[in-house]
């Protein structure tokens, strides 16, 4: 009872703080009449950013005069330890290329200057190898979807072509398929470039690539849940995946990012088919709907009001305590978050004064901007999610966070030592705020929909001149503030609705007049100071007990049985639980903010087991051809199967058939640590009483991704029904 009262008081306190924080972001300010946003950490007005003694102010020539230095930042963040900041030559405005659009506003010189900084940072990246200088290709795909495809579609197409090999999308960085799923973000970028160019030859090629890639990834759909298994690459993998995870552990994950990208890719594949004059694929439509439903049903955390970054575990999956905020933003932007989840997510997902973290809770006290060079992309997508649900408070605070980081740090070329320079990604993200938010541009197959989301403080006219779109050049002016298009004119003539048709040629003037329309409640949740992810316990296991190294009597530990947190562990030494034939167990720790990731899960096996050697079975080739084994069991019912193997190259992927029925795929990857024999992922199967035929075969119609030699097949009786 006391715990419930404490939780209730905590909820009330957080809500009150959130409302107060939102109020601080109101437009009215007694000292500065045109404050855009202000919180307890910093403020932004029409021409400057301030935080204590730090200031950044626009000058008459469009530059940014700033007193922030790397040394001052190092002194202000003493908890960074051995992390150091470096500083280059401060930015000065340059001359933009003729094909680049120009932005100007009536009352917002800081916004004008930051657009110029963004353009220069993107243009400067063209020197030498151009976009190829961006080592994180996943981040580049996000940047394309945000703004680059709209500004430089042909350059983006060239990069997208380079991401394809063997007629399908390559695993772009950080691992190999199938441990890491194909990067289906490629599909959105390919579609976006087509919407801007109407290049049917490119679309036809892109559709064929996407169709082949989806066909390959469909082998990785978990048979019981329908979710896509496999890791998704992140430059901050240590924040997403527990350190104990080996490749096979990552393969068994179902990540929010991977599943959202696949659900979206199915939608795009059908939109491509429509543009190419092909019939809609009912298979794609059904697959997208099924995957969307699975994401909402299995990955949504009702208590936290957000999605879990992933489900993980051997058999009984449990939700990660971490939220992937880029993936969550995409869930809102792409209509994956259904019912009222999108509004709830934006209101309840914690943000800091300086913006949203890539992942939450974090494992470091360093502010989001310095946590990862890809932070601007996450913040930009989060801002678009806020705009999608018409939460002006959240949108204004997110815009202010980006403006602060760009004015203080990007303009002064301050970065973390050893981290890639993120000025290019910041430029692409910031430019998206102009294109997608202020101008409200949404490219569709037959034109442009205009749906500006202009916070009430960002008043006055805002003009984007010289935007190249197919065979037209557009000069767009948004008048007023709000989220509802009151009327629209093209070349001074009123048009119905908010739509510009793609058949225009030549230069045209577009005037969009907006007013305040619908709005959400506008609540925001401010992250509690000092929130960190608890450490994973270090446990030494014996056949019937466990011992927690470094046990903290003031800490909290819980036993996890079949993916469910159960009873507390109150001593360093503890007995293993009494279970049925088989149980999957692990341990988690907790602090006042929540639970840790679990320890490496292990199986307690007490029921019927079989180990089938394959070396001496006639006709079996253990290095890649079909294996056929027979097993006789005493009881029919639910069993688990895995294999022991020796891997020599990559990740060998095999299909498991039981009595001619497909039961899933077995991944046989090389491990990060050398080992004589390794163990595959575990699959759940139904066996008949008596004789059963088990076949392990190469995947049909797919090239080999690795080589492994199967040593034996292990079968365990399982009386705990698979719950995922």
> In angstroms, how far apart are the furthest CA atoms of the chain?
87
Helix ranges, 87-179 (H): 109-124, 137-143, 149-151, 153-162
Question: Kind of pairing, strands 102-105 and 85-87?
Answer: unpaired
- ∠126-128-134 over CA atoms, to 5°? 65
| Geometric angle at alpha carbon 478, from 476 and 483, rounded to 5° | 130
Domain residue spans in the chain?
125-291, 538-605, 609-717
Task: Please name which of 391, 399, 320, 419 lies closest in space to residue 361, comparing C-alpha atoms.
Answer: 320
Rounded mean pLDDT for each run of 10 residues along the chain, 724 residues in total = 44 44 43 76 95 95 94 77 83 78 94 95 65 68 95 93 81 68 92 98 97 92 91 82 93 96 97 96 96 97 95 94 96 94 95 92 72 87 96 95 95 86 91 97 97 94 97 97 95 95 97 86 84 91 92 89 92 88 91 92 88 66 74 92 89 93 92 77 95 91 82 85 37
- The SS3 assignment for 635 reads coil
- 49 token code pair: 């950013």
Beta bridge partners of 288: none
User: Quick one: pLDDT at residue 253?
Assistant: 96
Could you tell me the two tokens for 607?
A: 């029921």
Tell me how far CA of residue 240 lies from CA of 182, 306, 370, 491, in angstroms. Answer: 18, 16, 17, 50
List the one residue out of 543, 703, 598 whose CA is nearest residue 313: 598
Length of the chain: 724
**What's the DSSP call for residue 157?**
H
Token pair of 379 as six digits: 């913040």
Domain 538-605 in CATH 1.10.287: no
- Specify the pTM: 0.91
Residues 125-291, CATH architecture: Alpha/alpha barrel (1.50)
**Strand pairing class (85-87; 359-360):** unpaired
What CATH topology corresponds to 609-717? Jelly Rolls (2.60.120)
pLDDT of residue 693: 95
């Amino acid at each position: 009872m006391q715990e419930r009262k404490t939780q209730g008081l905590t909820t009330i306190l957080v809500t009150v703080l959130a409302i107060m924080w939102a109020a601080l972001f109101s437009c009215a300010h007694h000292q500065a009449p045109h404050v855009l946003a202000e919180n307890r950490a910093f403020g932004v007005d029409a021409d400057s950013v301030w935080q204590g003694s730090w200031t950044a102010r626009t000058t008459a020539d469009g530059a940014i005069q700033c007193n922030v230095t790397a040394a001052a930042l190092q002194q202000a963040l003493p908890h960074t330890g051995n992390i150091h900041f470096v500083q280059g030559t401060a930015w000065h405005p340059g001359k933009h290329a003729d094909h680049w659009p120009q932005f100007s506003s009536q009352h917002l010189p800081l916004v004008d200057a930051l657009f110029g900084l963004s353009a220069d940072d993107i243009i400067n990246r063209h020197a030498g190898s151009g976009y190829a200088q961006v080592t994180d290709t996943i981040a580049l795909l996000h940047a394309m979807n945000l703004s680059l495809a709209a500004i430089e579609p042909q350059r983006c197409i060239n990069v997208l072509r380079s991401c394809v090999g063997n007629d399908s999308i390559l695993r772009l960085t950080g691992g190999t398929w199938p441990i890491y799923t194909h990067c289906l973000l490629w599909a959105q970028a390919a579609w976006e470039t087509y919407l801007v160019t109407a290049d049917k030859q490119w679309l036809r090629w892109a559709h064929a690539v996407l169709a082949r890639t989806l066909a390959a990834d469909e082998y990785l759909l978990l048979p019981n849940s329908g979710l896509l298994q496999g890791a998704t690459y992140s430059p901050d993998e240590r924040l997403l995946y527990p350190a104990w995870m080996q490749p096979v552990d990552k393969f068994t994950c179902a990540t929010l990012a991977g599943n959202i990208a696949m659900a979206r890719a199915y939608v795009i594949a059908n939109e491509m088919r429509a543009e190419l004059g092909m019939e809609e694929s009912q298979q794609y439509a059904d697959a997208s709907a099924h995957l969307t439903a699975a994401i909402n049903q299995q990955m949504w955390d009702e208590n936290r009001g957000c999605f879990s970054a992933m489900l993980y575990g051997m058999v009984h999956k449990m939700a990660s305590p971490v939220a992937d905020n880029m993936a969550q933003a995409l869930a809102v932007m792409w209509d994956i978050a259904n019912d009222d989840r999108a509004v709830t997510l934006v209101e309840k997902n914690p943000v800091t004064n300086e913006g949203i973290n890539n992942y939450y809770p974090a494992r470091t006290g360093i502010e989001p901007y310095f946590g990862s060079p890809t932070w601007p992309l996450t913040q930009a997508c989060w801002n678009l999610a806020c705009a999608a649900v018409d939460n002006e408070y959240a949108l204004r605070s997110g815009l202010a966070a980006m403006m602060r980081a760009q004015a203080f740090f990007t303009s002064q070329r301050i970065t973390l030592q050893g981290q890639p320079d993120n000025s290019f990604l910041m430029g692409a993200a910031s430019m998206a705020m102009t294109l997608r938010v202020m101008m409200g541009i949404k490219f569709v197959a037959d034109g442009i929909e205009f749906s500006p989301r202009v916070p009430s403080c960002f008043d006055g006219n805002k003009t984007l001149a010289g935007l190249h779109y197919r065979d037209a050049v557009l000069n767009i002016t948004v008048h007023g503030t709000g989220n509802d298009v009151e009327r629209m004119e093209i070349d001074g003539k009123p048009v119905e609705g908010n739509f510009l048709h793609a058949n225009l040629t030549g230069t045209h003037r577009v005037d969009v007049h907006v007013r305040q329309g619908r709005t959400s409640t506008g609540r925001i949740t401010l992250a509690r100071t000092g929130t960190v992810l608890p450490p994973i316990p270090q446990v030494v296991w014996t056949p019937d007990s466990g011992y927690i190294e470094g046990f903290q009597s003031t800490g909290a530990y819980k036993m996890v049985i079949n993916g469910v947190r159960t009873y507390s562990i109150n001593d360093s030494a503890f007995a293993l639980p009494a279970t049925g034939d088989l149980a999957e167990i692990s341990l988690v720790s907790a602090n006042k903010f929540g639970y840790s990731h679990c320890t490496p899960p292990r199986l307690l096996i007490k029921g019927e087991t079989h180990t089938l050697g394959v070396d001496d079975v006639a006709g079996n080739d253990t290095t890649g051809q079909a294996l056929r084994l027979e097993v006789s069991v005493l009881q029919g019912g639910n069993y688990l199967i895995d294999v022991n193997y020796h891997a020599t190259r990559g990740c060998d992927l095999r299909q498991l058939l039981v009595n001619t029925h497909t039961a899933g795929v077995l991944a046989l990857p090389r491990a990060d640590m050398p080992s004589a024999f390794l163990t595959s992922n575990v699959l759940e199967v139904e066996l008949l009483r008596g004789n059963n035929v088990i076949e392990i075969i190469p995947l049909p119609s797919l090239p080999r991704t690795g080589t492994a030699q199967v040593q034996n097949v292990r079968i365990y009786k399982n009386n705990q029904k698979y719950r995922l």
